[in-house]
């Protein structure tokens, strides 16, 4: 798994992960992007040949994807289920529930250090845009929200977040890559929305947080549209490379 150009998922994000986890990350983003369409039957043998690994990490990856309902394990192989618009909306429903709960807990704690951490991450997001690095922007975006969630030290909330995170970060990554190509001006809006999050946490003003969440989660339809556009981009690039 060393040839970066063959992979959609950033290997630096999972450099220390097991081969099975890296394979799951790559297969997941290919499925979400539509490069591996719903209904495709994945063969352990063929995947092992393609990625030049043994069947053991392939089985680990497929088991992970099955637990996420990305695929369905059958005797003939793994059948791709994929991700539809309703799945994406439900995923963001979970995020909204988590972040609403977390904010209510944040109202009761000292947020000085949290605001400092979030401000640093927000600066890194701006730097990533300056250098047109959609992958780094996506990484920092996910880290921003994860930092908020971790701040309340709630193990079960964090467990739910971790279960949703793999699919969510692939969606965000594809969306940001597409926006860098097609809608670069939209990054200013995204940064301003993160400024609202920080202000809401710093001032502990529910009205500001409601505004921030409204803007963030009303963008779900945009995420669906971005996903479709990113699929078209990937298809065109594949045709150009042939």
CATH number of the domain that 28 lies in?
1.10.10.10
- Mean pLDDT, rounded, for 183-210: 93
Between 75-79, 107-111, 160-164, the lowest mean confidence (pLDDT) is in: 75-79
Q: Distance between CA 165 and CA 147 in Å, rounded?
A: 13
113 and 32, same structural domain?
A: no
Has residue 233 been placed in a domain? no
pTM of the model as a whole? 0.86
- The whole-number average pLDDT for the span 79-88 is 92
In a domain, 240, yes or no: no
Pairwise pLDDT comparison (211 vs 112), residue with the higher score = 112
Q: Are residues 99 and 215 in the same domain?
A: yes
Could you tell me if 167 and 193 lie in one domain?
Answer: yes
| Domain enclosing residue 14, as ranges | 4-80
| Of 48, 200, 226, 236, residue with least CA distance to 111 | 200
Asked whether residue 1 carries a pLDDT value surpassing 80, the answer given is: no
> In terms of domains, do 144 and 205 share one?
yes
Whole-number CA gyration radius for the chain? 19
Q: Say which range, 165-169, 198-202, 209-213, 222-226, has the weakest mean pLDDT.
A: 222-226
Output the CA–CA distances (angstroms, integers) from residue 101 to 34, 57, 106, 204, in the order listed: 33, 36, 9, 14
| 238 lies in some domain | no
Instruction: Report, as an integer, the average pLDDT of 171-193.
Output: 91
**Total domains, the chain:** 2
The phi and psi torsions of 16 (rounded to 5 degrees) equal -100, 5
92 falls within a domain = yes
| Exposure of 115 in the CB half-sphere (CA atoms within 13 A) | 15
Pairing of strands 77-80, 41-42: antiparallel
> Is 2's pLDDT higher than 50?
no
CA distance 94 to 149: 13
CATH number at residue 121: 1.20.120.530
Pair 158, 181 in one domain: yes
pLDDT of residue 240: 57
């Amino acid at each position: 798994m060393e040839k970066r150009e063959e992979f959609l998922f950033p290997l630096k994000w999972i450099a220390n992960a097991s081969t099975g986890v890296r394979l799951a990350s790559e297969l997941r983003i290919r499925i979400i992007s539509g490069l591996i369409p719903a209904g495709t039957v994945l063969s352990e043998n063929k995947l092992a040949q393609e990625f030049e690994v043994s069947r053991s990490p392939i089985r680990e990856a497929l088991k992970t994807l099955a637990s996420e309902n990305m695929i369905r394990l059958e005797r003939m192989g793994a059948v791709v289920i994929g991700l539809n618009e309703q799945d994406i909306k439900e995923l963001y429903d979970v995020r909204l529930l988590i972040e609403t709960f977390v904010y209510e807990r944040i109202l009761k704690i000292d947020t000085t250090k949290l605001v400092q951490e979030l401000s640093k991450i927000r600066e890194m997001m701006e730097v990533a845009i300056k250098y047109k690095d959609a992958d780094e922007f996506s990484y920092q975006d996910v880290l921003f929200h994860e930092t908020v969630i971790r701040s309340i030290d709630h193990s079960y909330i964090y467990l739910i977040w971790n279960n949703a995170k793999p699919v969510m970060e692939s969606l965000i990554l594809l969306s940001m890559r597409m926006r860098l190509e097609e809608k670069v001006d939209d990054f200013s809006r995204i940064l301003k929305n993160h400024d609202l999050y920080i202000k809401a946490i710093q001032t502990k003003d529910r009205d500001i947080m409601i505004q921030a969440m409204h803007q963030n989660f009303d963008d779900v339809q945009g995420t669906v549209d971005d996903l479709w556009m990113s699929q078209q981009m990937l298809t065109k690039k594949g045709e150009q490379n042939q």
